[in-house]
Amino acid sequence: MIDIKFLRENPDVVKENIKKKFQMHKLELVDEVIDLDNKNRELKLKGDELRMKRNSLSDQIGGLMREGKKDEAEKIKLEVKEINDTLAENEKLEAEYSEKVTNIMMKIPNIMHESVPVGKDDSENVENEKFGDPVVPKYEVPYHTDIMESLAGIDLDSARRVAGNGFYYLVGDVARLHSAILSYARDFMINKGFTYCIPPFMIRSDVVTGVMSFEEMDAMMYKIEGEDLYLIGTSEHSMIGKFKGQILDKASLPYTMTSYSPCFRKEKGAHGIEERGVYRIHQFEKQEMIVVCEPEDSYDWYNKMWNYTVELFRSMEIPVRTLECCSGDLADLKAKSVDVEAWSPRQQKYFEVGSCSNLTDAQARRLGIRIKGEKGNYYAHTLNNTVVAPPRMLIAFLENHYQEDGSITIPEVLQPYMGGTKILKPKK
């Protein structure tokens, strides 16, 4: 959510930002919120005037009563009652206008960084840089679930019977590899100075609306029936929510945390859930990183964070590239975002395995996360980035380490987490 003061003073800038995101239907929201805000400010001014008049009359009542002028005092009491009734109605309207302003402001997208390329959708995202040489082996690389099945490592049929499409059982070496990658990613981030955390896997609605747009909420979140609780789609949600309503000490900043959690997503609007694969699923596990920092430091952290993901993947000998998200592909709360994509030898192209985003103060405004300053409190900046999400990482890992005989090589950094295993051999 952007600053209402900024919108008042720069409506054309806000409208141009909306146009760059190709959300023309939201242009009218700017004028609407300005009109409501003006009316609300007029009500506040009227309320202040009524309170001043009431206080003055109350002082008169006291003086008249002391002078024994009870009848005059009673007349003024009736006037005070009328003011109170008017004030109550005024305050009710204030609350209504204030709520309407907030609801509209939450639909207006965050101001994007000037470097964000303009484009309608993800097809117009811009490649930044490649890391590692993508290899296409001379032999055929099977589909990732075929590789897993050859290792006796996945059971999709049972998962469909138990939960439906979009779920899986990981078994044996593949399940161990999944956990090994998460454990390695955890230690990798701890060694970068991040504090490890396991957060709540459910959050309340006021946290949900604080960390994401209404559109994202509808497309992603599972609600617990009969409870004000939602299953998290990523641990970023509860990790940023941890600071809700807090005034942070400057000396404690930045907060740099890495968190593990399962993630639950409806994937509403997705092009169907694959029956065979684990690329787009309803449940997965993830290692995340978040930063809460001073506004002037956020883009330095942004660059550090996506570089950590690149470094992690390269340490496991997986070629990656970074892709700058264009304006039309940028979620409303994000000011700038870059996807990390891994190389797929089978498809001979890159695919998304993580995303790093700077939300500037958009989440902090929604959640009330402020920093205690010498000249007043101000909003923090928040950032998040995928360290690793093993289902997609498993696809990249298995394809890039697949050998002609069907075996899978284990890079040196993962071997301690695999009990010293250096190679996985097919079982069928």
- Which tokens go with 334? 């994000």
**Domains of the chain, each with CATH number or no CATH:** 4-105 (1.10.287.40), 122-424 (3.30.930.10)
- Kindly indicate the confidence band of residue 80, based on its pLDDT and cuts at 50, 70 and 90: confident
One-character DSSP codes across 34-75: HHHHHHHHHHHHHHHHHHHHHHHHHHHHHHHHHTT-HHHHHH
Q: What is the pLDDT of residues 124-173, one digit of tens each?
A: 999 999 999 999 999 999 999 999 999 999 999 999 999 998 899 999 99
CA 340 – CA 342 distance, rounded (Å): 7
Reply yes or no on whether the pLDDT at 272 is more than 60.
no
Q: What is the pLDDT of residues 346-391, one digit of tens each?
A: 999 999 999 999 999 999 999 999 999 988 999 999 999 999 998 8
For residue 203, give the 3-state DSSP assignment.
Answer: strand
Over residues 332-341, the mean pLDDT reads: 97
**What pLDDT shows up at residue 421?**
97
Residues 6+ apart with CB under 8 A from 218: 268
Query: In this predicted model, which residue has the larger pLDDT, 267 or 322?
Result: 322
Query: In this predicted model, which residue has the larger pLDDT, 77 or 194?
Result: 194
- CA dihedral 197→203→204→207, nearest 10 degrees, is 60
Reply yes or no on whether the pLDDT at 22 is more than 60.
yes
What are the φ/ψ torsions at residue 352 (nearest 5 degrees)? -70, 135
Q: How crowded is residue 203: how many other Cβ atoms within 10 Å of its Cβ?
A: 24
- Which tokens go with 157? 């049929």
**What pLDDT shows up at residue 268?**
59
Reply yes or no on whether the pLDDT at 405 is more than 60.
yes
Q: What is the pLDDT of residues 194-252, one digit of tens each?
A: 999 999 999 999 999 999 877 788 888 999 999 999 999 999 999 999 999 999 999 99
CA 283 – CA 219 distance, rounded (Å): 14
* Mean pLDDT score of the chain: 93
Can you say whether the dihedral through the CA atoms of 186, 187, 189, 194 is positive or negative? positive
pTM over 0.75: yes
- Kindly indicate the confidence band of residue 275, based on its pLDDT and cuts at 50, 70 and 90: low
Strands (DSSP E) found in 247-319: 247-249, 255-264, 283-293
